[in-house]
Amino acid sequence: MIKGTILLLLYACCDIEYFETIVLIVALAAQCGKVWLTVSSLWRPIAASDKVVDAELEVNWELDCPTSTEYPDTIKVFTADPVHNKTIRPKLILSPLEHPRGYYRTNITVGRPPLPGGWDTRDGATLPGPHCLKYHVALYKDGNLFMSSCLRIWPTWMYDLRRQLGRLPIGSLMIPGTHNSGCYKHGDLTRRDVFQRYLLTQDRNVWTQLVHGIRYLDIRVGYYPSRPNATAPGEESNSINRFWVNHDVIRITPLSAIIKDVRNFLDVARGEVVIMDFHRFPVGFEGRPSRHRRLATILHREFGDLILKPDRGVVGLGPTLNDIWTGGGRLIICYGDKHTVNGYEWLWPSLSQAWGNQQTVEGLFKYLDDVIMGPKRSRNSPNPLWAVMAELTPYPLDIIFKPSGGLRQMADAVNRNLTVRFQEKWWKETNIVATDFFLGNNLIDVSIQSNIKKSNIAQWRL
């Protein structure tokens, strides 16, 4: 565990003179736990305004020191790296003892800042490796730094860690994903969005999801006879405009926007593997196989040689990352219609989603524990990939009888606890984990560190 964490920190810090300090920090942190930043899914209104405040910074920590080590007494939040900037003043100071839940929601607004490392534009020069956003957090004891971390993106984590992860089959990796990936708000949030409380599941577009480190996209597609408000004849004849990403029967985002983001990302993140799961088709496809064929034609036209053909691998866990990189195709397209899959050699069969349909945190966590830690899945499945859907599901009538609730509150109740459960218990048996409002948990980092641990286990077995 310490070895993997040191590796992650070395990627984030390129100045070699800090190496000994980093090693000491990691050793102390390994004894006492960790601290990390997330972004709240909640929003709050602004008085006398149509605008709202959302995307506020959250501080999370988990402390478990041995009896011979004193607990850290202070947590500080900064707007720059305190390891490199010794004189910087903290934005916030917390005492862990005053907040025994291991969590504190600040009033510091993260917003939607530019993505560092050149990743804010879809066609610019991009730098590999992790890149910190503005905010950092650090643990202290008597003024001495135990550890620090930052809110960050890691757009190239798979290929950056190719020496560790290359021999792992894709079906054995822990892959961070999003649920209903295309259901996000276009533009700033306002009070009028109260009517979308039960529709929106993400607060970042697909490009930003991928840049942060998400590698699994859950997509539900609807087909509509014509584009809304289409006036020009060309718009009607352009069939891609008829396909939308839906939340159940409600259309949210044009599918073309999702395809463009994925294509642009794969073009610049040369070694990353992305899974697009076209899981359901709730509107316009029933009894219309020609529309499935039209969608398949669009996908092949847009992605071409980037598509990875189905491969169960030698042990039923799919190809290794090394195999994928050797072949060239890095996009896995799973398709939830068996007849369509049979007609195209490049489509992967339907991906199994473990969805509990749970309305309480206790019910969801019991379901996830039973699924993840229960009997092992058969390796004879047509698709070696599978996903746990780690989010709450509202009752159909909640939109009427609980108008002040919504998916943001439900995600807030679940996300921070998911981080600890996967970090401590579920990581070893998990393939894909998809969540709502993914910045409210730390599962991208947990997945990366878990894959390093899985690699070490695999090497030991060899």
Report pTM: 0.90
CA dihedral 447, 448, 452, 457 (to 10 degrees): 10
Say what the pLDDT of residue 227 is: 52
How far from 27 is each of 22, 24, 65, 109, 148, CA to CA, in Å? 9, 5, 12, 32, 12
Sheet holding 144-153, edge to edge: 92-94, 74-78, 131-141, 144-153
Say what the pLDDT of residue 23 is: 39
Q: What are phi and psi of 254, to 5 degrees?
A: -60, 135
pLDDT band at 422 (very low <50, low <70, confident <90, very high): very high
Find the farthest-apart pair of alpha carbons in the chain and give their distance in angstroms, rounded: 75
In CATH terms, the superfamily for domain 157-226+237-460 is Phosphatidylinositol (PI) phosphodiesterase (3.20.20.190)
How far from 439 is each of 57, 93, 153, 409, CA to CA, in Å? 10, 22, 11, 14
- What average pLDDT is seen over the chain? 88
CB 443 within 8 A of CB 418: yes
CB 442 within 8 A of CB 419: yes
pLDDT tens, position by position, 360-399: 999 999 999 999 999 887 767 899 999 999 999 999 888 7
- What does the pLDDT average to over 67-92? 90
> Between residues 338 and 15, which one has the greater pLDDT?
338
Strands 56-63 and 103-109: antiparallel
**What stretches of 140-254 show up as alpha helix (H) in DSSP?**
157-160, 162-165, 206-212, 233-237
**What stretches of 102-232 show up as alpha helix (H) in DSSP?**
157-160, 162-165, 206-212
pLDDT tens, position by position, 255-299: 999 999 999 999 999 999 999 999 999 999 999 999 999 999 999
pLDDT tens, position by position, 173-221: 999 999 999 999 876 666 666 668 899 999 999 999 999 999 999 999 9
Q: Report DSSP state, residue 426.
A: I
pLDDT band at 40 (very low <50, low <70, confident <90, very high): very high
Q: Does residue 226 have a pLDDT over 80?
A: no
pLDDT tens, position by position, 303-361: 999 999 999 997 899 999 999 999 989 999 999 999 999 999 999 999 999 999 999 99
How far apart CA 352 and CA 354 sit, in angstroms, is 7
The neighbouring-strand residues paired with 246 are 251
H helices, E strands: number in the chain:
14, 18
Say what the pLDDT of residue 63 is: 87
How far apart CA 31 and CA 334 sit, in angstroms, is 42
- CA quadruple 153, 159, 160, 163: dihedral positive or negative? positive
Percent of the chain with pLDDT over 90: 70
Query: What is the radius of gyration, based on Cα positions, of the chain?
Result: 22
The neighbouring-strand residues paired with 389 are 434
The neighbouring-strand residues paired with 139 are 75, 147
pLDDT band at 25 (very low <50, low <70, confident <90, very high): very low
